[in-house]
Amino acid sequence: EVQLVQSGAEVKKPGESLKISCKGSGYTFTSYWINWVRQMPGKGLEWMGIIYPGDSDTRYSPSFQGQVTISADKSINTAYLQWSSLKASDTAIYYCVRHRDSGKIYNPFDLWGQGTMVTVSS
Amino acid sequence: EIVLTQSPGTLSLSPGERATLSCRASQSVSSSYLAWYQHKPGQAPRLLIYGASNRATGIPDRFSGSGSGTDFTLTISRLEPEDFAVYYCQQYGSSPRTFGQGTKVEIK
């Protein structure tokens, strides 16, 4: 089965670090761009950035540049989203999502992970 | 950055009725790289339409998309109970990719 499976929910304190994961299976992980999308409580979808696991080419939305780090380990078919110092405003659901077509950077979002809920509270 | 504005914010309709959702872009969307997603609570979003008018795999033909340039429309010809959800448009032809703020289709 072609799928993206994300790591479980996290509860953290402000200032802590965090790395969440997204594991792909059932397809050639290195051939498809992976995006990260945020949904804050009661709000809409926001694109954070994108990575090509084949060569780790990474691009960020200006809104998230410097706030998070996107990475991938192609040896274990896993992409990551990490924070060095969380804020309460990082509380959200985070989705990883794959493009519909292999190799294309401008492409619709076709395969979604189940989402990871991150709660940051003192 | 391309800003997408969806209207209306909420659409109150009955099953069997037709739904028409609008998405307007602040500048022309490259090569009609416009998609529509359905999002239900507790689930991941689902791709419905890409390239402005192409149905994604497994999407029923009651869903259709149209438009080009800066004006796009998603039409649901006859609402089924499972269609009540939030719908987002997205442009994926330029960076940053952007989403509209969403239209909630609720049961009247």
- Taking only the tens of pLDDT, chain A with its 122 residues reads 999 999 999 999 999 999 999 999 999 999 999 999 999 999 999 999 999 999 999 999 999 999 999 999 999 999 999 999 999 999 999 999 999 999 999 999 999 999 999 999 99
**Chain B interface test: which of A38, A61, A109 (most B C-beta within 10 Å):** A109
Name the residue in chain A with its Cα closest to that of B51: A108
Cβ partners under 8 Å of residue A43, min gap 6 = none
The pLDDT value recorded for residue A24 is 98
CA distance A18 to A113: 18
Q: Are strands B54-55 and B46-50 parallel, antiparallel or unpaired?
A: antiparallel
Find the angle CA(A93)-CA(A99)-CA(A104) to the nearest 5 degrees: 140
Phi, psi of A92 (to 5 degrees): -175, 170
Rg (CA), chain A: 14
Looking at residue B31, its pLDDT comes to: 77
Q: State what percent of residues in chain B have pLDDT above 90.
A: 97
Shortest distance between the Cα of A83 and any Cα of chain B, in A, equals 20
**Each residue's pLDDT tens digit, B29-72:** 987 899 999 999 999 999 999 999 999 999 999 999 999 999 99
> Does residue A54 sit at the B interface (CB-CB below 8 Å)?
no
Query: What is the pLDDT at residue B32?
Result: 84
Q: Which residues of chain A lie closer than 8 angstroms to B95, CB-CB?
A: 59, 61
Is B99 within 8 Å of A107 when comparing Cβ atoms?
Answer: no
Give the end-to-end CA distance of chain B in Å, rounded to a whole number: 35
